[in-house]
Amino acid sequence: MVRPLQIVVTDPIVSRFESLFRQLGTRHNWKFVASLDPHEQSRQIAEADVLVCARLSDQDAQRCTAGLVHVTGSGTDRVALKYLPESTQVATTSHHERSIAEYVVMAILAHERRLLSITRELTEGTWRTLATDPNISMFRTVKDLTVGFIGMGAIGQHTLAAVTALGAKAVAVRRNPSEPSTDNQNLHWVKSMEHLPELLECSDVVVLCLPLTDATRDLIGATELSMMRSDALLVNVARGPIVNAPALIDVLDQQLIGGAALDVWWDAPTGTVAPALTQRLAAHPLVIATPHYSGHSRETFLSRVKEICSNINDFASVAEQHKGLNSPEVASTP
C-alpha cells in the first residue's frame, strides 16, 4: 500500500479548523505547527509531503521537498516559489470574493454618510445635521454614484454585482477588456488600462482589485490621484504598493480627494503592532483603515479548508496511481 501523506500546516488562521481538516483527510497524517518555534517549524516543513502555508521564507523553501505546496490564499507574493523544487506543485485558493465585496459596499456607505466623522462629533457631544448646521452637505445614495473598477477578476465581478444591485453605475479598466467575464450588462463600459485616466476622472469611487506585479506597482501615483474627483473615495482591497504611499498622504493632507478606504498596506506588522505608515494613515480623518481583514469571514475559511482538502486528496490519488509521487510505496503485510 501507499503510506499516508505527511501534511504540515503552518498557517495559524486555517489551523483553527484542525478538526475539519482531519475529518476531510482521514487517510493522512496532519501536523499543525503554527504555535511551534521557527526552528521546529522549519524542521517540520523539510519533512512534509504536503505543505499548507500562507507564507514561506527563502530558507524554508530551499529545504522544502514537498510534492504539493498549498497556499491558503489567492496570492503567492509571500511564498518563495523560486526556491521550491521544479517538481513541486503549487495551488492557491480564494473564496473571499463575497466577503470583500461586502467590505467595499460598507466602505462606500461609511464614506458617503461620513460615518466616522459623525461618530467622532457625537462622541465629543456635538450634534451636527442639516437641521442644525447650514454648512452640512446632503449625502448621496449609491444609485447616485459611478464606481470605477481597476481590475475585473473574481473580486471585481462580485463587487460589481453588489454595487450595481444598489443602483450604482459602473465602469472598468482591465488588462484584457474583451474577456467574456466582463460581458456584463451592469457595466456601463470596460476598456483597456490605457483608459485609466478616463476612469479616474469620471468615478465617484475607485476600487483597486488587481494583482501586484512589476507593471502595477505604484500604478496609482501623484499624477493618477490628481485626476480623481475632489470628493472621490479610493478603495484598496488589492495590495498596498499598487498605490504610491507618499503621493496618497499628500493628496489626503491637501484634501484633494474625498478619502481612502485601505485594507491593504505597504509593510507587514510586527506581531500585533501596526507599522508606522499604517498608524499614520489610520489616524488621518479622511481614511477608513482596517488590518487586511476584508476577506476574513467564516464562510471564506470554511470554503478554503474544504477546497484545500479536496486538492490534497486529488494529489494523493494521483500519487498512488503513479506509485508514489513524493509518496513512496511501502510493503503491505500479508
CA distance linking residue 98 with residue 282, whole number of Å: 25
Residue 330 forms part of a structural domain: no
pLDDT confidence bin for 325, thresholds 50/70/90? very low
| 75 shares its domain with 103 | no
Task: Report if residue 326 sits inside a domain.
Answer: no
* 91 and 105 part of one domain: no
As a whole number, the mean pLDDT across the chain is: 93
Check whether residue 37 and residue 66 sit in a common domain. Answer: yes
The 10s digit of each residue's pLDDT in 142-184 is 999 999 999 999 999 999 999 999 999 999 999 988 776 554 6
247 and 122 housed in the same domain = yes
Whether residue 332 has pLDDT greater than 50 = no
22 with 168, same domain: the answer is no
With respect to residue 58, please indicate whether it lies within any of the assigned structural domains. yes
Chosen domain end from 268, 289, 310: 289
Check whether residue 188 and residue 270 sit in a common domain: yes
Q: Is residue 203 part of a domain?
A: yes
Residue 125 scores a pLDDT above 80: yes
The dihedral of CA 9, 13, 16, 19: what is its sign?
negative
Q: How many domains does the chain have?
A: 2
Residue 230 banded pLDDT, cuts 50, 70, 90: very high
Residues 210 and 270 in one domain: yes
203 and 159 belong to one structural domain: yes
CA-CA distance, 233 to 208, in Å (whole number)? 11
Q: Answer yes or no: is 329 within a domain.
A: no
- Evaluate whether 172 touches 156 at the Cβ level (below 8 Å): yes
Question: What is the separation of C-alpha 122 from the centre of its chain, rounded to a whole number of angstroms?
Answer: 33
Q: Is 316 among the domain residues?
A: yes
Q: At 193, which CATH number?
A: 3.40.50.720
Q: Note the pLDDT of residue 288.
A: 98
Together in a domain, 135 and 227: yes
232 closest CA partner among 293, 164, 171: 171
In a domain, residue 313? The reply is yes
Residues 103 and 190 in one domain: yes
Which residues span the domain enclosing 65?
Answer: 6-95+298-321
In a domain, 327, yes or no: no
Same domain, residue pair 151 and 249? yes
| Residues 240 and 169 placed together within one structural domain of the fold | yes
